[in-house]
Chains A and B, each alone.
Chain A
Amino acid sequence: MSSQALPETFRLRAGNFNLLVLRLLDPRPDAVLPALGDQFRRAPGFLRFAPIVIGLADLEAAPEEVDFRGLVAGLRALEIVPVGTTGGSPQMRQAAIAAGLPPLRAVGGRDSETEVAAPGAAPADPAAAAPMPAPAPPPVAAGPQFQGSGRNAMLVSEPVRSGQRIYAEGADLIVTATVNPGAEVIADGNIHVYGALRGRAIAGAQNDSEARIFAMNFDPELIAIAGYYAVREGLGGAPIGRPVQVRLEGEEMRFGPLG
């Protein structure tokens, strides 16, 4: 037996990403690509090597009419990297898979896209077949992002009692009452507890490490974000009984005051 441990070569973790969606309105690459190239030439670098998801929901065409291979090649030539598709009929998705574009599933169901516009781009001419919905305020590339997560929220206004378990799938969870000892609240997004948090709170359940836990009276049995957890015993330094927000910084849990 070798006493030397093998060096770790990888870690498999799920992650959530914000991606741009290119909703196709025209199936012909030679109609889409010049318009796309034209729009983004005005904002050089904006989409450079940006991964992009091709939205098929608005496309009124038969699968055989769409030249996915030509589209992929054309996008790559524009230094845009298509990584998959969203929406569309099963046949359409099948045709895309054949061109190396796997279907992606949006977190929180459909229509979780937020509108974006290129920075500095002129208000789009509605007559032009612009593939990017425009205009919309939050610039994606620059500065801090104030984009919504596109998630819904689930509201619970009764106390969550011992033995009860509430899961806000693909959503934030807001509890306006208390979460009692022995209860468990889970959300794919953030968890807000406006009463006392005395049970377990598991945020970012689908490994969203950006998720946070907020509690007006922080007194939990266990908290977890994106799979990293701490039990009460390990919460020595946390401000118990106070308004607290918990977030993940790397692999460390950080406890900050609220407000």
Chain B
Amino acid sequence: MAQVIVVTSGKGGVGKTTTSAAFATGLAQSGKKTVVIDFDVGLRNLDLIMGVERRVVFDIVNVIQGEARLNQALIRDKRVDTLSILPASQTRDKDALTKEGVSEIIEELSKDHDYIVCDSPAGIEKGALLALYFADQAVVVTNPEVSSVRDSDRILGVLQSKSKRAEEKRDKVKEHLLVTRYDPNRVERGEMLKLEDIREILAIPLLGVIPENESVLRASNTGMPVILDAESVAGQAYKDAVGRFMGQELPHRFLEPDRKPGLLRRLFGGRAA
């Protein structure tokens, strides 16, 4: 049986799809057979970030409506051969997803995969609810910002009440906190929430902190999951997060502010003032 992992946040634009792509790629790189599903029917971004947008023939809605078989819709990644992508449809809306349809897809993928990563749309409506419904584990993506933390808190409540595990009163969905776009310099200036404050409110185990980094935007625009950019700090941070997810004990990195600008400001900025 595969582990179903939902990547969710409540709020939009915090890095769910970037995380889904990086995380699924990282899991696959470790040799686990992994599939990542785009639940954002109507918007469809995962294929772009994974760089497979020109290879999409069928999508999840086609499979649910019986217009295509599952393995016709799955796209095999060319970089990591244990990874495949099930894209979303851009021409339909989220009502085209049904619980029965998604259930069948998850069940079939479960047979020959180790991990099923579900990239949730923003919000707490149908698409998001379906993305988290079958989850065994959840990666809650949060920015160091008040509204993002509150939405993550909301989605954690939804996970506890609306997931299949909650409905069947089984062990609850295992929750992981992933803080993205963390800029220690701005945290120090009080412009962003501190990591401790986020952890205190959400009160779930910390999987990782991804620093704000230009490599993420570059990776998105070139259709390469940022985790494949081993030089970048964001790529390394995602690699650590995947390692921790698989049970490794790794220290958290990239949490300290950059000291150099402060020193320069003290030397030159101070004199000018």
Chain A minimum-CB-distance residue to B161: A164
- Segment from B18-26, B151-159, B213-221, B241-249 that makes contact with A: B151-159
B203 beta carbon closer than 8 Å to chain A = yes
Residues of chain A contacted by B137 (CB below 8 angstroms): none
Chain B interface helix/strand/loop/mixed: helix
B62 beta carbon closer than 8 Å to chain A = no
Chain B minimum-CB-distance residue to A198: B201
B150 beta carbon closer than 8 Å to chain A = yes
Contact B203 A178 (CB under 8 A): yes
Residues of chain A contacted by B154 (CB below 8 angstroms): 161-163, 182
Contact A164 B201 (CB under 8 A): no
Q: A159 contacts which of B124, B158, B203 (Cβ < 8 Å)?
A: B203
Would you list which residues of chain A between 154 and 195 have a CB under 8 Å from chain B? 158-159, 161-164, 177-178, 180-183
Contact A162 B153 (CB under 8 A): yes
B175: min CB distance to chain A, Å: 11
B185 beta carbon closer than 8 Å to chain A = no
Contact A163 B157 (CB under 8 A): yes
Contact A180 B160 (CB under 8 A): no
Contact B150 A182 (CB under 8 A): yes
- Measured between alpha carbons, how far is A33 from B194 in the docked complex, in Å? 71
Residues of chain B contacted by A162 (CB below 8 angstroms): 150-151, 153-154, 157
Residues of chain A contacted by B203 (CB below 8 angstroms): 159, 177-178
A48: min CB distance to chain B, Å: 54
- By a beta-carbon cutoff of 8 Å, the part of chain B in contact with chain A is 124, 150-151, 153-154, 156-158, 160, 200-201, 203
- By a beta-carbon cutoff of 8 Å, the part of chain A in contact with chain B is 158-159, 161-164, 177-178, 180-183, 196, 198
15 A-B pairs with CB atoms under 8 Å apart are A158-B160, A159-B203, A161-B153, A161-B157, A162-B151, A162-B153, A163-B124, A164-B157, A178-B203, A180-B153, A180-B201, A181-B150, A181-B201, A182-B150, A196-B200
